[in-house]
Amino acid sequence: MKDTAQPGLIDLDTPALDGGENFPIPEPLTSHGPAKVISMCNQKGGVGKTTTTINLGAALAEYGRKVLIIDFDPQGAASAGLGINANERDTTIYDLLVAARPDILPVIEHTSTPGLDIVPANIDLSAAEVQLVNEVAREQALTRVLRPVLDDYDIILVDCQPSLGLLTVNALTASHGVIIPLETEFFALRGVALLVETVERVRDRLNPRLQIDGVLATMVNTQTLHSREVLERLEQAFGDTLYRTQIRRTIKFPDASVAAEPITSYAPTHSGAQAYRQLARELIARGNVA
Ligand SMILES: Nc1ncnc2c1ncn2[C@@H]1O[C@H](COP(=O)(O)OP(=O)(O)OP(=O)(O)O)[C@@H](O)[C@H]1O
Ligand SMILES: [Mg+2]
């Protein structure tokens, strides 16, 4: 289903959907915080949540924003992708979630990107969901963990696991915004209605400020008719909620994960790095973040 190239039908010039807009270079911030908390969510696996968390975070940090990534997936992909070996750590996000008095500061790690920090996760986190079920205010565990550092950061990005379970509900409860990355392929929209419903339920019952900041088309291959058709459908379905910036499919992203670096430092001039810088500028231009 992926990359169904139709060479006879290639039309490289797709201006309206090509994310060609140039968003202005943001002004530097004169002070930091309070943080805008954004969850990167899609219960579908492998759509670019972690890649977007890491590279958007790094791009925002390049623009002088103080960014904290919360690895909220027991697979620990965001931690690994930023060079943190979370398996060797005694304390991770898991310990904070289940602690009576969580102290996040000692669990925060700096990354090699200045201004970009992370709270790592490892497989321990898979036990949290079961353990939290019988807790009072089980949906607010992450909210409580983040509270002490809200004034230290401009943006907190939560890299969710591919599920709509209690951990994701915790992420949504702690967030102001949601970004939904969608792989640009035929079944991209499958399951999105359920995700939107979950966001609405959390908004109604737990977190009235929650909103969907944007939908991001990832793994775009503009040289295939198929990819362009899917982009048109996304545009129809989401209108202005769809970010103008698109992330194209390129091997440089998996390469950067192997190198355990954001693409912005692994291949700073590559179009993939430029795309995430543009996404960072678009978020700022839209007022999604300061
Ligand atoms: N734009 C892209 N072009 C090519 N490969 C990509 C792109 N974005 C992500 N990938 C690769 O696709 C795979 C899945 O991406 P990623 O881990 O970011 O998705 P995810 O939604 O976080 O997955 P999961 O649901 O398993 O957490 C990774 O190997 C990643 O390197
Ligand atoms: Mg992931």
Q: Which atom of ligand 1 is nearest to the CA of 73?
A: 27
Position 222 scores a pLDDT of 83
Residues of the chain with pLDDT under 50: 1-18
Q: Whose atoms come closest to the Cα of 246: which ligand?
A: 1
Position 13 scores a pLDDT of 33
Taking only the tens place, the pLDDT of each residue in 195-227 is 999 999 999 999 999 999 999 999 999 888 889
Q: Which distant-in-sequence residues (6+ apart) come within 8 Å of 202 by Cβ? A: 139, 169, 172, 173, 210
Residue closest via CA to ligand 1's atom 29 equals 254
Position 20 scores a pLDDT of 56
| CA 191 / ligand 2 centre spacing (Å) | 17
Q: Which of 268, 282, 264 shows the shortest CA–CA distance to 58? A: 264
Identify which of 41, 51, 125, 245 to mutate to test ligand 1's pocket (most ligand atoms within 8 A of the CB).
Answer: 51
| CA 130 / ligand 2 centre spacing (Å) | 20
Position 22 scores a pLDDT of 86
Ligand 1 near 49 CB (within 6 A): yes
Query: What's the gap between Cα 8 and its chain centre?
Result: 36
Taking only the tens place, the pLDDT of each residue in 148-200 is 999 999 999 999 999 999 999 999 999 999 999 999 998 999 999 999 999 99
Return the structure tokens found at 280: 């960072």
Using CA atoms, how far apart are residues 262 and 267, in angstroms rounded to an integer?
8
Position 18 scores a pLDDT of 46
Q: Say what the pTM is.
A: 0.94
Using CA atoms, how far apart are residues 266 and 188, in angstroms rounded to an integer?
28
Using CA atoms, how far apart are residues 76 and 70, in angstroms rounded to an integer?
10
